Structure 1
Amino acid sequence: MPLQTWWLFALTVFAISATPGPNMLHILTRSVDFGLARTFAAMAGCLSGLMILLTASVAGLSTLLVAVPGLFTALRYAGAAYLVYLGIKAWRTRAGLLDVAETALPPARLGAAALYRGGLAISLSNPKAILFAAALLPQFIDPAQPTGPQFAVLLATFAVIESFWYMTYALGGRSMGRALERPSVKNLFNKLTGGLFVAFGIALLTARG
């Protein structure tokens, strides 16, 4: 893989990962609710989901999306519904943003496994991430060279950059957590994040292609 190709990929991923989206918002709210240390499980879940999608793209996800025209539309509606559900739940809760993987346990009792499942569900429910994996990653693979080493380099690059932005958002959430000790401010934050999740869901529903 030429060095300029790698740099182009790294800069593209850096810009895309920095953009606030469901994953980054999820990490931010987890850090506010649980602190930095416990948010690592949520980060691992989000990153695992993206790694699964990227691996699937190399395994032929892009071909599958072309062969089954209605598949992406179905995924888009399912992902949008899940994000809207999360938004409504966040809007109504007074304890912090919860998700479907966490059951009814109070936030203080949520374990690493539940936080991991929540992050994983967020990643896998976003069809735009699927489209990103299917359409972008293959563009940086040179078919004339062995695919395995190229894929390994791109995947490692993506993981490092994505983790950097997870930490950035998590540290921001930790700082915000100190300012959200007042219940009235925390409830306002929950409504704001809930509204953003609903907006993401609506954007998926109205997006074309």
Structure 2
Amino acid sequence: MTLDTLLLYLAASVVLAITPGPTMLLAMSNGIAGGMRAAVCGIAGASAGSAILITIVALGLGSLLAASEWLFDALRAAGVAYLVWLGIKMWRSPPVDIRAALAASPADVLSGRVAFLRSLTVALSNPKALLFFAAFLPQFIDLASPQGPQYLVLGAAFIAIDTCIMLGYAAAGTQAVRWLSRRGLRMLNRGCAAGMWMLAATLAIWRRPGV
């Protein structure tokens, strides 16, 4: 892999990562519901999910999903259902005053464990993400050199970029808690919920190229 190829990959990764997706919306939602601590746990879950998907692609297992229509549809159905359910949870979630909630009862604030698990689930239940990595990463792999180290470098670079951008979304969520009224926070929560439903609808009707 040449330096030019790596720089092109990094630029493409920034553009792709900054585009709002389920993990980005979830990072903002976690920041609103649980503060930066919960948001960081959620980001760790999303990053772990990306690492798992990239490892699957590097091992060549991504081709199984690409070749199996029923497996793809089953995973897609699970992903759609989970995004819809998560959107309902966000829509119904009351706006939280994090400082007051922590002073009264820490259990009222979104826990780091819940944030981690739901972000991990979102990352793993989206077959588009796996197919994206399967189509995107190999374009930057030099087949004449050992592929394992290249996947490691490319995967680590993408996850680092994605993590930084998710931190930005999470910080926006925590600032929203400080500056917005309860009505504004409720509207922001419902905006994230609507975003989840739109992504679920997109995933439900999406067809792979060539299908």
Q: Deviations over 1:131-152 (max 9, x none)?
A: 1122111222222101122112
User: Residue 200 of structure 2 aligns with which residue?
Assistant: 201
Please state whether the residue corresponding to 1:145 is helix, strand or coil: coil
Amino acid at match of 2:162: E
Aligned partners of 2:66 and 2:72 also within 8 Å: no
User: Residue 14 of structure 1 aligns with which residue?
Assistant: 14
State the Cα distance separating 1:197 from its structure 2 match.
Answer: 0.7
State the Cα distance separating 1:63 from its structure 2 match.
Answer: 1.9
Q: Percent of counterpart pairs with the same letter?
A: 38
- Are 2:20 and 1:47 equivalent residues in the alignment? no
Structure 1 residues 21 and 107, CA gap change in structure 2 (3 angstroms): farther
Structure 1 residues 42 and 84, CA gap change in structure 2 (3 angstroms): same
Q: Deviations over 1:48-101 (max 9, x none)?
A: 0011001101111332124323222222222111111111222223256xxxxx
Q: Provide the TM-score with structure 2 as the length reference.
A: 0.87
User: Residue 103 of structure 1 aligns with which residue?
Assistant: none
Q: Structure 1: any 5+ residue segments left out of the alignment?
A: 97-105
User: Residue 142 of structure 1 aligns with which residue?
Assistant: 142
Q: Provide the TM-score with structure 1 as the length reference.
A: 0.88
> How far apart in 2 are the matches of 1:47 and 1:32?
20
Aligned partners of 1:61 and 1:134 also within 8 Å: no
- The number of aligned residues is 200
> How far apart in 2 are the matches of 1:130 and 1:206?
17
State the Cα distance separating 1:187 from its structure 2 match.
Answer: 2.0
User: Residue 89 of structure 1 aligns with which residue?
Assistant: 89
Aligned partners of 1:57 and 1:138 also within 8 Å: no
State the Cα distance separating 1:107 from its structure 2 match.
Answer: 5.7
State the Cα distance separating 1:193 from its structure 2 match.
Answer: 1.3
> How far apart in 2 are the matches of 1:170 and 1:177?
11
User: Residue 186 of structure 2 aligns with which residue?
Assistant: 187
State the Cα distance separating 1:110 from its structure 2 match.
Answer: 4.3
Aligned partners of 1:62 and 1:135 also within 8 Å: no
User: Residue 28 of structure 2 aligns with which residue?
Assistant: 28
Superposed CA RMSD in Å reads 1.9
Structure 1 residues 107 and 189, CA gap change in structure 2 (3 angstroms): farther
